[in-house]
Amino acid sequence: MRDVLKDMLAPAGSVAELGKVAVLMGGDSAERPVSLMSGSGVLKALQSQGVNAHAFDPAEQPLAALKEQGFDRCFIALHGRHGEDGTVQGALELLGIPYTGSGVMASALAMDKVTTKRVWLSENLPTPRWQRLGAGQHDNDHTRVVPDTLGLPLIVKPAHEGSSFGVTKVCGYSDMQAAVQLAAGFDANVLCEEFIEGDEVTCAVLGEGVSAVALPVIRIQAPDGNYDFEHKYVSEDTRYLCPSGLAPELEAEIQRITVEAYRLLGCRGWGRADIMVRASDNKPYLLEMNTSPGMTGHSLVPIAARAAGISYEALCVGLLRRATLDSQRESAAS
């Protein structure tokens, strides 16, 4: 596997061929601070390899300026709405500027956790049981009955956010209303999800279609099992185990369902699935797919890449080389 991954990101010509590169970072989503950290890391890595890369914040100047300023391709280091939901990707398609990561449809699908679950369930991929509360369903009459179906504890979160914004672990009926209101502050669609007791893991994928390959699995150990924003991006107390320490057959199964989940959504370039492994039977459950994963000092894809023998700099340049447009994409078998 390591040879495949290294070949996938192997240098192919001079970095001068990449032209003038915009690293899209910041933006206007709730995840702006994380995006700025990711983008700064990517920008430094690309520049260290001689790439003519520049920071570009869509919250500070219009995307049309990319064309006006002569950019040849974009590395998308945006997170959340207007960054990994297909909107920026669609704008870049219209501008004709190749970009990293998934295209318009895959980005939009993966950003919507409810639709993602529907796609996965259609192909019998495991994901926790769930219930959606849409606009007009955030009142106590609707929220108080959710635990009757999903049990307690359960997870409440916005259907279109990341970085643990608006996420609550609900342990009692009396906590449901506040949890739903918190999530609804980020998104009118609220996802209530069965809580899976066990190990939290993540698995990244590089490539596309039949060439997609999973990176080593990372097992996450956060204080008190609370992998929130603080423990993702600020605290030094969270442990990331890679090698994961899981049984080889379990790690292989996690990688298998991750690649299948990635292909089903039509992802390309890279992505990362968040997964819970149920303690009672070691069954993995897919939570969500990230199509613009974090690239901060605490981020998981760089950790997994290093375990596969790929440096942060090589990862950034390799992903940039694979920048493309939907209109340029060669069809790949799913």
Residue 129: active-site member? no
What is the Cα–Cα distance from 114 to 124, expressed in whole angstroms? Answer: 15
Write down the catalytic residue from 32, 263, 268, 272: 272
What is the Cα–Cα distance from 304 to 244, expressed in whole angstroms? Answer: 10
Write down the catalytic residue from 26, 27, 29, 31: 31
Residue 227: active-site member? no
Residue 163: active-site member? yes
Residue 124: active-site member? no
Write down the catalytic residue from 112, 208, 274, 312: 274
Write down the catalytic residue from 86, 162, 198, 294: 294
Residue 123: active-site member? no
3-state secondary structure the chain: CHHHHHHHCCCCCCHHHHCEEEEECCCCCCCHHHHHHHHHHHHHHHHHCCCEEEEECCCCCCCHHHHHCCCCEEEECCCCCCCCCCHHHHHHHHHCCCECCCCHHHHHHHHCHHHHHHHHHHCCCCCCCEEEECCCCCCHHHHCCHHHHHCCCEEEEECCCCCCCCCEEECCHHHHHHHHHHHHCCCCCEEEEECCCEEEEEEEEECCHHHCEECCCEEEECHHHCCCHHHHHCCCCCEEECCCCCCHHHHHHHHHHHHHHHHHCCCCCEEEEEEEEECCCCCEEEEEEECCCCCCCCCHHHHHHHHCCCCHHHHHHHHHHCCECHHHCCCCCC
Query: Which residues have CB under 8 Å from 181's CB, separation 6+?
Result: 138
Write down the catalytic residue from 233, 262, 285, 312: 233
Write down the catalytic residue from 29, 102, 107, 163: 163
What is the Cα–Cα distance from 14 to 309, expressed in whole angstroms? Answer: 21
Write down the catalytic residue from 194, 288, 292, 322: 288
Residue 288: active-site member? yes
What residues act catalytically? 31, 163, 233, 272, 274, 288, 290, 294
